[in-house]
Amino acid sequence: MQNVLNSVKGTALGVAEYLTPVLKESKFRETGVLTPEEFIAAGDHLTHHCPTWSWAVGDESKIKPYLPKDKQFLITRNVPCRRRCKQIEFVGEENLVEENDADGGWVETHHYNPDDAGSAGLEEKVCEMKLDSSRIEDEPAADMDDPRNLDDGDGGDGGDDDDDEDGAAIDMDEFEESGLLETVDPSNALLPAPNEKPKPAAPTEAEGDSVVRTRTYDLHITYDKYYQTPRLWVIGYDENRKLLSVEQMYDDVSQDHAKKTVTMETHPHLPGPNMASVHPCKHADIMKKIIQTVEEGGGELGVHMYLIIFLKFVQTVIPTIEYDFTQNFNITNHK
């Protein structure tokens, strides 16, 4: 049912985008949206600082006239994804980035809560891992410079008792003649008997389920004319470069966003199978809040930084896809 609703919404938004005029005047600071020119400027900044990203053209029949022909969308290929989202153990509670939202808002799944009882319990367990020094303190170390502490085989009462109990050493010639040496020959100990069939080799770890198969993803960033913001698209491949199924790609999406914030859509510039896309309906609101936070801290956020920040906040949706956004952005003091 959810897929049907998403399909209907996608068709309706396609019509709305076609009828929406191209944004000409900058409203970046007021509303967090971009003009096509500002999208190009932010894309140039991204490709300059993150060389793994580059501009792409796509299908000639789907060229958007409001964008330069050679800069239709951004792409990065073969991005590793070594873990599934369900394998991540989150620390702390989830924080809603976007509140009062019927769809549940944006969830920051990697938020760390220092007051969380679980983390305190972990610290207590680590503190309990101490060496029991009471026995060491009660038993003073032997002084090896003292001749009485050296076992020379002749001194000490314990040494005499051991010699008496062990008896005389076995003569090696007699041991060899008895045939016992052949039964314990270490060179033959691990070889199968002449009439014994060799056992099949046990499966190695590389053949088992414990090995994480590295998936790779191609990521695209397009300009959405209706929402006037960037839009992220991802398509995944297995270790043999075979296309992942829809459900397999959803395994690499935060379950708080799968089939809600992230849906399978038709790429605006490419033919072929649908791709997973992060819906852009909240992008402008989130960016507006970030701009306000920077300005309240005395800084100023340039429009060229848009895609760098954009890639940081969509990381909460696809936390295990290790794409490159390179720059370290400090939201409190950026100028």
Domain boundaries, the chain: 28-90+213-317
On the question of pLDDT at 37 being above 50, the answer is yes
| Residue 275: Cβ within 10 Å count | 20
Which has more confidence, 8 or 239?
Answer: 239
Average pLDDT for the chain: 74
Q: Give the residue among 105, 108, 111, 109 at the shortest CA–CA distance from 260.
A: 105
pLDDT tens digits, 87-100: 875 544 444 445 55
The pair of structure tokens assigned to 296 is 């309240």
The pair of structure tokens assigned to 243 is 């296309």
Cβ–Cβ under 8 Å, residues 282 and 305 = no
> d(Cα 97, Cα 1) in Å, to the nearest integer?
27
Q: Is the pTM of this model over 0.85?
A: no
Cβ–Cβ under 8 Å, residues 34 and 283 = no
Catalytic residue among 50, 85, 127, 281: 281
- What's residue 197's pLDDT? 59
Cβ–Cβ under 8 Å, residues 306 and 283 = no
On the question of pLDDT at 33 being above 90, the answer is yes
Instruction: Give the residues across from 276 on adjacent strands.
Output: 234, 264
For 272, residues 6+ apart whose C-beta sits below 8 A from its C-beta are none
On the question of pLDDT at 314 being above 50, the answer is yes
> d(Cα 264, Cα 260) in Å, to the nearest integer?
10
- What's residue 166's pLDDT? 54
On the question of pLDDT at 52 being above 80, the answer is yes
On the question of pLDDT at 115 being above 60, the answer is no
In the sheet where 54-56 sits, what is the strand order?
Answer: 54-56, 73-81, 215-224, 229-237, 275-278, 262-265
pLDDT tens digits, 213-235: 789 999 999 999 999 999 999 99
On the question of pLDDT at 180 being above 90, the answer is no
Residue spans of beta strands (DSSP E) within the chain: 54-56, 73-81, 95-96, 107-108, 215-224, 229-237, 262-265, 275-278
Q: What is the mean pLDDT of residues 10-24?
A: 69
Cβ–Cβ under 8 Å, residues 81 and 215 = yes
On the question of pLDDT at 118 being above 80, the answer is no
Q: What is the mean pLDDT of residues 65-94?
A: 84
Pairing of strands 275-278, 229-237: antiparallel
Is CATH 3.30.1460 what the domain over 28-90+213-317 is classified as, yes or no? yes
User: How buried is 263 (Cβ within 10 angstroms: 0-12 exposed, 13-18 middle, 19+ buried)?
Assistant: buried
Reported as type and span, the H/E element at residue 284 is: helix 283-296
- What's residue 114's pLDDT? 44
Catalytic residue list contains 127: no
Cβ–Cβ under 8 Å, residues 265 and 274 = yes
